[in-house]
Structure 1
């Protein structure tokens, strides 16, 4: 783990305990940190806190005040923090179910949400349960029991539905005009690859690792055409290479969505 991130996470847990006290039963690094794929300068820091019970409005706002970037500077692009009740984490629910959501950082728009009902549907309600599924497999415990004992996985039916929702959300994002390289297309391609790897093989991987693994698999499936080359270029784009073109990224996403939706 990056040394700056490690120090930051130590401070974050201490701040969380200062606000929540004995209510804080666990703290877990998720996302690229949990998956061992953190890239300085590119990755966010994703953290899930688990509370023994529901938080009142005062504690929610106090937690945001202590953890926002201005109070506890994040060394990454930003912090994406979600707080769950223990019973929600253990339920395996497909619902968002969070107590607090905080996005904050030097290169991230600030957002604090205190109730799932206030989360705009256009921003996607699928993220949270998918993140808890990743935490079930790969959460890095900063405090508390192992993540697998805290976060239940999704049922196969809920997993498939949420993967479809996520892929549909990505496909609904507008592309710039023309057919050249487009911003974020590597994330769109690799996000779809990660979804298909999880769906086919039952394992969550980092986006880059999913791209590499799926490229090897699809080389044995001629119907996927030049998808392995597309995946290789998407992985290279994360280290400064040219991102895929918008139309070819969309075609790959549609292909993944079709396979998962039709299962």
Structure 2
């Protein structure tokens, strides 16, 4: 727990107190992943990403209790994560199966969990922080690097490449100097588009994970034309004042194309 940032530590402690009181013995393990594990957590920008290990699969009554607990948590930072019973956790699922999970602090039980992919297990194995439960080194985790590479390349081609087209369509006919925040894309969306694909490219190249803060320099290294925009995106995430225009959003979409094309050329 001490390894967590102060604000995140208080929220996690509150969650554990409430869940232990309501469902004694249910939560056996809790591991911080995401930006906290990567040492890149930022107040006001980052969520608290977790993997939660339970003594059993939750039944309907227990899910209702969990939903009530999470609904009562503070609005920010969001406490996100995935609930896995101990047997399922031990099998390290990467099939995006339907399990209880939290997105933007809300419990979902009705759709596949996108977080169940090889990247989350890589982050847990290499960087995960145990809040409750055995040390990560004692979990016996094994990451299938072939599955990791296939997942990242597929994600670039099936999620990010279509997203670039969607961004351009949403911006069609808008003047270059209009602020992105006045459009469907938003400034935050520009940052997401510039830094996100580069992180997958980095994983393909290195079998490792890079935080968003490091993705800006990586963009500059692999597609230099978009380095200045990526640098502004990183500085925006760090809290520096920055605005993004429609021209920036179009450039962000083009940067997705460039990163995807480079990845496909190298590993496709």
1:210 aligns with 2:215: yes
Distance 1:19 1:128, change over 3 A: farther
CA-to-partner distance for each residue in 1:122-176, whole Å, 9 max, x for gaps?
xxx5433133332222222111112354484542332223223433323434323
Determine the structure 1 residue equivalent to 2:124: 135
Determine the structure 2 residue equivalent to 1:95: 95
Partners of 1:152 and 1:98 in 2: CA distance: 21
Determine the structure 1 residue equivalent to 2:200: 195
Determine the structure 2 residue equivalent to 1:108: none
CA-to-partner distance for each residue in 1:44-88, whole Å, 9 max, x for gaps?
2222211133221211221121122xx232542x22232112233
- Compute the TM-score of the two structures, normalised by the length of structure 2: 0.77
Contact in 1 for aligned 2:153/2:204 (Cα 8 Å): no
Contact in 1 for aligned 2:35/2:211 (Cα 8 Å): yes
Once the two structures are superposed, the pairs formed by residues 73-84 of structure 1 within 5 Å of their partners are: 73-76=74-77, 78-84=78-84
1:242 aligns with 2:243: yes
Runs of 5+ consecutive residues of structure 2 not aligned to the other structure: none
Instruction: Give how far 1:216 is off.
Output: 6.2
Determine the structure 2 residue equivalent to 1:5: 8
User: Larger Rg: 1 or 2?
Assistant: 2
- Compute the TM-score of the two structures, normalised by the length of structure 1: 0.79
1:256 aligns with 2:266: no
Q: Secondary structure at the match of 1:82?
A: strand
Runs of 5+ consecutive residues of structure 1 not aligned to the other structure: 106-110, 219-223
CA-to-partner distance for each residue in 1:167-218, whole Å, 9 max, x for gaps?
3323434323145555211112111121111111122121112323x14643
Distance 1:91 1:102, change over 3 A: same
Contact in 2 for aligned 1:91/1:152 (Cα 8 Å): no
Aligned match of 2:133 in 135, 144, 155?
144
Determine the structure 1 residue equivalent to 2:86: 86
Instruction: Give how far 1:225 is off.
Output: 4.0
1:163 aligns with 2:152: yes
Contact in 2 for aligned 1:33/1:45 (Cα 8 Å): yes
Partners of 1:12 and 1:95 in 2: CA distance: 27
Distance 1:147 1:260, change over 3 A: farther
Q: How many residues align structurally?
A: 242
